[in-house]
Structure 1
Amino acid sequence: MVSTHERLRDLVGDLWNKYTRHEFVERLRNGSLPMDVFRYYLIQDTKYVREMQKAVIKAASKAPLNEAIDILTAVFSNVERGGAEVHERLFHDLSITEDEVNNTGGFNLVNYAYTKHLHYYASLGWPQFLAAWAPCMWGGYYEIGKYVVGTGNSIFNAWAEFYASNDYWSRVEAILRTLDKCGGNAGHGEGV
């Protein structure tokens, strides 16, 4: 039997591969991405992670208690809080300050759209939120991390090693397991 998360992934077809093998990803992997572009990405990603965490908490308030605890524990249980650990190390290596994150404008258009997307689905309900969030955590971080890890660029590799790690996979696995419990309800809602 095909799981809900596999069924949803199959529904997007080749878009999944275009997403996880985008030119940005290929350039991370081969080390040719300009460092200023990665630096900008990292600042935007930090803004995204902070908004994503708010959306997770908002959505979890609508979840069955055991599912909310499972997800919140997986994502927030360690000191590192879901990606901040790799950001802190890379911020140091790239001389990015907290002031720079807070004072270099807002979200870029894509980041703005996706964070609004997450907040919208968090307001609809738990299954809908999981279906909207899982592709980012699974494909956008884990699958891309696995693909990029081993690159010759130490900065890009440090980023990829975290997202390809067993620790990070345990977070993704909790999301996918919970999404699978939701079954057919995960695809209900406008735009899912």
Structure 2
Amino acid sequence: MARASEVLRQSAGDLWNQYVRSEFVRMLYDGTLPRDVFRYYLIQDSKYVAEMQRAVIRAASQAPLQEAVKVLLAVFANPERGAEIHSKLFSELNISEAEVGSTGMNLTNYAYTRHLNYYASLGWPQFLAAWAPCMWGYSEVGSYVASSRDPLYRAWGDFYASDDYNSRVRALLEVLDNYNVTPEMQRAFVNSVRFEISFWESALRKEPTIY
């Protein structure tokens, strides 16, 4: 019997490739992405991550204890590696935490994080399905961008290609695979893939913030 993660990924069809090999990702790889676009993306991504982490904690409060502990430890137990690359990128691009805090979300980011919060309120397996495209897709994107011609983009890719990051992805997928896929989980997964595509696109056009 196919694992839930395999079923969900197959259900996304070609959307998955549009996500992990989007124009934004290809430009990271070949080093042609303008620095101001990457800077815009990093600020929006920082705001996304803060909301995503809150959604993870909310969803985990409804989960079986063993599963909640496994996922929360994987995601939050070793923050140093993520903080290291975060600091490097912010320093290189002159981004301050104050700037992140004072910058609003764009419409795509706002909608995507509300989508995650909705599924966090709905149930644990539904949330895992909604969250998986972000974590899983970035491991593939990271492996690709880790060979970028641009050293800054290569450093970004190295983090998402790292054993540390991939251990987080494995923990999430192993817990997700404890469940049978429902139509609600399938919708959550596929729509999150769509949101990931839109997130890249919103960065390329530097979508105006809404608040």
Question: TM-score category by the smaller chain?
Answer: over 0.9
Deviation at 1:147, TM superposition (A): 1.1
Give 2:118's aligned amino acid: Y
What's the TM-score, normalizing by structure 2?
0.85
Is residue 130–residue 185 contact of structure 2 (8 Å, CA) maintained in 1?
A: no
Which residue is 1:32 aligned to?
32
The question of 1:179 aligning with 2:193 is answered no
Which residue is 1:61 aligned to?
61
Residues 123 and 37 of structure 1: CA distance in aligned 2, closer, same or farther (over 3 Å):
same
Which residue is 1:43 aligned to?
43
Give 2:136's aligned amino acid: W
Which residue is 1:156 aligned to?
153
RMSD: 1.5
Q: Which structure is richer in relative contact order (CA contacts within 8 A, separation 6 or more)?
A: 2
**Distance (whole Å) between structure 2 residues aligned to residue 3 and residue 175 of structure 1:** 13
Which residue is 2:184 aligned to?
188
Which residue is 2:113 aligned to?
115
The question of 1:85 aligning with 2:97 is answered no
Unaligned runs of at least 5 residues, structure 2: 189-211
What's the TM-score, normalizing by structure 1?
0.93
Q: Give aligned-pair identity as a percent.
A: 61
**Distance (whole Å) between structure 2 residues aligned to residue 190 and residue 175 of structure 1:** 16
Residues 131 and 190 of structure 1: CA distance in aligned 2, closer, same or farther (over 3 Å):
closer
How many equivalent pairs are there? Answer: 188
Partner secondary structure for residue 179 of structure 2: helix
**Distance (whole Å) between structure 2 residues aligned to residue 178 and residue 172 of structure 1:** 10
Give 1:32's aligned amino acid: T
The question of 1:8 aligning with 2:2 is answered no
**Distance (whole Å) between structure 1 residues aligned to residue 55 and residue 130 of structure 2:** 11
**Distance (whole Å) between structure 2 residues aligned to residue 21 and residue 97 of structure 1:** 29
**Distance (whole Å) between structure 1 residues aligned to residue 44 and residue 169 of structure 2:** 21
Which residue is 1:97 aligned to?
96
Partner secondary structure for residue 184 of structure 1: coil
Structure 1 residue ranges (4+ consecutive) displaced by more than 4 angstroms after TM superposition: none
The question of 1:147 aligning with 2:149 is answered no
- 1:39-70: per-residue Cα shift (whole Å, max 9, x none)? 00001000011111000000000000000000
Is residue 124–residue 189 contact of structure 1 (8 Å, CA) maintained in 2?
A: no
Partner secondary structure for residue 177 of structure 2: helix
Which residue is 1:21 aligned to?
21
Which residue is 2:200 aligned to?
none
**Distance (whole Å) between structure 2 residues aligned to residue 190 and residue 178 of structure 1:** 16
**Distance (whole Å) between structure 2 residues aligned to residue 137 and residue 48 of structure 1:** 13
Is residue 47–residue 100 contact of structure 2 (8 Å, CA) maintained in 1?
A: yes
**Distance (whole Å) between structure 2 residues aligned to residue 84 and residue 182 of structure 1:** 32
Partner secondary structure for residue 188 of structure 1: helix
Deviation at 1:189, TM superposition (A): 5.8
